[in-house]
Amino acid sequence: MSMANGTQPPSSPQPLSPQTARSLVDSVEAFLFDCDGVIWKGDTLIEGVPLALQALRSLGKKLVFVTNNSRKSRKQYAKKFASLGLDVSEEEIFSSSFAAAMFLKLRNFPKEKKVYVIGEEGILEELTLAGFSCLGGPEDGKKEIELKNNFWFEHDKSVGAVVVGFDQYINYYKLQYATLCIRENPGCLFIATNRDAVGHMGSQECPGAGCMVGAVAGSTGKEPTVVGKPSTFLMDFLLERFQIETSRMCMVGDQLDTDILFGQNAGCKTLLVLSGVTSLSDLQHPTNEIHPDYYASNVVDFVELSRNCPL
């Protein structure tokens, strides 16, 4: 895609020019990056990203990595960054698994209550780190129940929250457990890490957390509190942590309905990169109603453009 030929009407998103890229960098104190499709694709780093991030850091910009993927904890993500040659600290990573734990912490969720998890290791690790007792997750992945009239399914009455995220080992046992907690334990919270319809396995789509969340919404008749993108919970948390106005932040992502919507909901500047799931024709499609402030082919191009503009 050529950045130079953009002749969009003024209301449409603009491809970055050296001038607009430079002005974006100058007006922003913190860049919030989505990870998959922006920093890496699956387990492969997008070429040039380490230098691009280093260039932003050398200008004094704060970098934050915001991902809806709840399969890993912050610690596990920091390892992934390191294995790809990127120097990113745990404190710079905001995964939806961490968001779920922070949501409960900020609500003063009682420590004597338990949390039932439909999801993978990352959620359990973050909840445990935050001091909560968890049930479910991977250890319930092989459990089955017998649908017989004389069978009585026991669930823990002290479960006060159910957290639902992506779970490759979703099964009826977990769905039954979560359903009984939400329907029968008074005041039990229903928290979703995110509702992304699909994730990506290489170049193929596969059901995302929206699938597991939809199942529990379907069996409980309740709508969850979403803590990941595009909900602004994570942003409220970031604001308190960094004390930077959202107008001086820029959300950089590859998905319109999570990343860009999240940035817009929070009042950030928004930059769509075309290195992930959204193509230029998706962006320009007449049915698309989510318009980022700018778009660029990828993060590296954006940083390069900004450096090519004379002061």
Question: Which residues of the shown chain bind a second copy in the complex (CB under 8 A)?
Answer: 42-44, 145, 147-153, 167-172, 175-176, 179-180, 183, 195, 197-198, 201-202, 204-208, 210-221
Nearest distance from C-beta of residue 190 to a second copy, angstroms = 13
| Bridge partners, residue 132, by sequence | none
Nearest distance from C-beta of residue 152 to a second copy, angstroms = 6
Question: In sequence order, what are the residues at sequence separation of 6 or more whose Cβ sits closer than 8 angstroms to the Cβ of residue 152?
Answer: none
User: Nearer Cβ to a second copy, position 208 or 253?
Assistant: 208
120 is catalytic: no
User: Nearer Cβ to a second copy, position 213 or 238?
Assistant: 213
CA distance 178 to 136: 9
Of 29, 90, 92, 304, which one is the catalytic site residue?
A: 29
User: Nearer Cβ to a second copy, position 179 or 306?
Assistant: 179
For 207, phi then psi, to 5°, come to: -55, 135
Nearest distance from C-beta of residue 29 to a second copy, angstroms = 35
Nearest distance from C-beta of residue 173 to a second copy, angstroms = 10
Nearest distance from C-beta of residue 204 to a second copy, angstroms = 6
**Which tokens is 2 given?**
């050529």
CA distance 51 to 151: 60
Nearest distance from C-beta of residue 205 to a second copy, angstroms = 6
* Distance from chain centroid for Cα 214: 17
| Bridge partners, residue 134, by sequence | 115
User: Nearer Cβ to a second copy, position 58 or 204?
Assistant: 204
CA distance 21 to 15: 9
Whats the size of the chain, residue-wise? 311
CA nearest to 70, candidates 191, 182, 155: 191
User: Nearer Cβ to a second copy, position 5 or 152?
Assistant: 152
The 3-class SS string of 28-83 reads: CCEEEECCECCCEECCEECCCHHHHHHHHHHCCCEEEEEECCCCCCHHHHHHHHHH
b/e per residue 53-73 (b: at least 16 CB within 10 A): bebbeeeeebebbbbbbbbbb
User: Nearer Cβ to a second copy, position 78 or 213?
Assistant: 213
CA distance 33 to 251: 6
Q: What amino acid is encoded at 23 in this protein?
A: S
Query: So which residues are the catalytic ones?
Result: 29
